Chain A
Amino acid sequence: MTEPAIQIRDLRVTFGGVVRAVDGVDLTLHQGEVVALIGESGSGKSVTLRSLMRLHPPRRSRVEGSITVAGRDVLAMSERQLADYRGATVSMIFQEPLLALDPVYTVGEQIAEVIRRHEKASRAEARARALELFQKVRIPSPERRLDAYPHEMSGGMRQRAMIALALACRPKVLLADEPTTALDATVQIQILLLLRELQREFGLSIVFVTHDLGAAVEVADRIAVMYAGRIVEEGSARDLIRDPRHPYTIGLLKSRAEGALAKGSRLDAIPGSPPDLAHLPPGCPFAPRCPLAIEPCRADRPPPIPIGPGHAARCIRTDVSPGLLARHPEPAPA
């Protein structure tokens, strides 16, 4: 078997010495695989993603553990090595392309700049490559759009331009941080399908961060659910949707308003709110909100419990948790 595209071992990221944003994440991504990291704000999904490119300010953050991308130790790289690594091996797309793109250069210039920074290419060659990329991401009238400034493009178009920019130097790994969250529904599905298509064509490995389970299922082979800085459940998209075992995953699935529900019925909401990352409880961080929590849950952090091939959950009650799926919320008071 070939070496994995990404290997993260016991990643810990602390901000300001107290906030444990990522608290022991292990994740392996094979070549050509798409993994979605899902979770709510503060779950550590974006922090994990940014660590893969070492985007955290070194003065205010401490990153421990190991990160290997395409066989290279990311945490050991010098600034110079990092600059070569970013964009060429790994690149990233963001939620808000208007903030990620430079407003004073045309998108064509920005793409050409990336190509010329990493490879020997003349201006004309770089522009030709940029045009080719614009065709790949299906921007209409690409020749003309290369000379557009970011503000002259629509939201969907800008996101396509940012994907073109990210793929300019044929990276092996694409990191996507909520790339469709700011887009309209009819545009979101177009971008999800585009990512899926480009992934196949380029054999990309993608880490896709989202809070939207639906978007994750549309693109990902595997899904990792994060809560309070840890991956609490990981498995194939099918396992996670059909046979979720962690009470948090089950809670997320059940709290969704979906399909036809009887009028006046209530959603099965998860009670409480996520824990304060500066004061994590000693045991399972989900225990205070969990309907199945028992004494041992509050004492020790649960290890990953294997459930099936490639499917594991950090929960000591996975034997009884499927019962939660069937339980219905109390009927609304008459």
Chain B
Amino acid sequence: MIPEDRGGPAQPLLTVKGLLKHFPVKKGLFGGASAKVRAVDGIDFEVLKGETLGVVGESGCGKSTTARLLLSLIDPTAGEIVFDGERVGSRALSLKEFRRQCQMVFQDSYSSLNPRLTIEASIAFAPQVHGVPRKEAVGRARDLLARVGLEPRRFAERYPHELSGGQRQRVNIARALALQPRLVILDEAVSALDKSVEAQVLNLLLDLKEEFGLTYIFISHDLNVVRFISDRVMVMYLGKVAEIGGSEEVFERAQHPYTAALLSSMPSLDPDNRTEVAPLAGDPPNPIDPPPGCRFHTRCALVEPVCSAKEPPLAATEGSHRAACLAVQPGSGHSLAPAATSVELAA
């Protein structure tokens, strides 16, 4: 069951098109007119082979829903997921086979392990479901435990409650790798760990990525960590992609005002240069009734009338760097928009 690379290195490992998830919510006493939470509201992105795509955004932006949609843990309202050239759920790539190649590590290391299985049994469980003989699966589980820094002789027979948070998260990582996946989705996987342990686990993730040729989707609210680990970064706001681009491009030359605000909200760690003014006021709006036009216009410093009238497309600003903001899009009608060049007019 060695995963084979089908489309070659240039073909994206994962292509997401028009992914949409609306959760119905009952409104009013009689449950009549039902409203929808637009958790993920039409997003497109690609994950390239061997890269780490960081996903950032605040609560309610849809980053965790996106992760769950990718693995079909919840069904999308609309949209298509293509894995290495094959549509997930098609004849060529069944959901079961896709799930073997795509694994997930969750934030809560305790609730994602079966408390009644030893960690060795937990890691060996999924390969057995996929037809690996028990002995082989257990042997591989022990190898993986050693690989994530837990000595098998000391740890294999332990139960999850006998481990610390950092050790449990190492077990979850080993379990995700047991099926030899190609894509690992890490949903706030280091967020619950103490800082000194977080650094250890981040280093481990980098080592494993090199060793097993993995591709990561790394979801986190911690911008420092995302910058450190990601090759590219996707910024989400209220179910939409606000900006996507190379990690350093996004962090050094943020195009979307939301990204800029998010970045300047980070504490400075400089006692002589404390933050004096909060970059944004208020909380993110409710995804049940997102603002019309650009969803960020209610909190944006660059807001103009056009922003509430027109929804900005996610358009290229430089190279592969794309942002959904009218202020950086030529000919958008925003006063700060750059003049359209002849090439863009022709296109």
Contacts and interface: CB of A to CB of B under 8 A. Distances in A.
Nearest to A238: B271
Nearest to B194: A40
A37 B300 CA distance: 35
Nearest to A218: B267
B269 A267 contact: no
Given A185-B221, A252-B196, A257-B202, A155 B270 contact: no
18 contacts: A40-B194, A40-B196, A41-B165, A186-B280, A187-B283, A189-B275, A190-B280, A192-B267, A213-B195, A213-B269, A214-B266, A217-B269, A238-B271, A241-B269, A241-B270, A267-B202, A269-B196, A269-B202
Interface in A238-296: 238, 241-242, 251-252, 255-261, 263-264, 266-271, 273-274
B221 A184 contact: yes
A253 to B, nearest CB: 9
Interface of A: 40-41, 140, 154-157, 184-190, 192-193, 211-215, 217-218, 236-238, 241-242, 251-252, 255-261, 263-264, 266-271, 273-274, 332
A192 B229 CA distance: 27
Interface centre among B196, B229, B265, B282 (most CB of A within 10 A): B196
Given A218-B268, A241-B271, A264-B206, A189 B278 contact: yes
Contacts of A266: 203, 206
A266 B205 CA distance: 10
Interface string B179-206: 0000000000000001111111011001
Contacts, number: 131
Contacts of A215: 267
Interface in B27-80: 58-59
Contacts of B200: 269-271
B286 to A, nearest CB: 8
Given A186-B261, A189-B278, A218-B267, A255 B283 contact: no
Contacts of A251: 196
Contacts of A259: 224, 227
B269 A211 contact: no
A126 B9 CA distance: 68
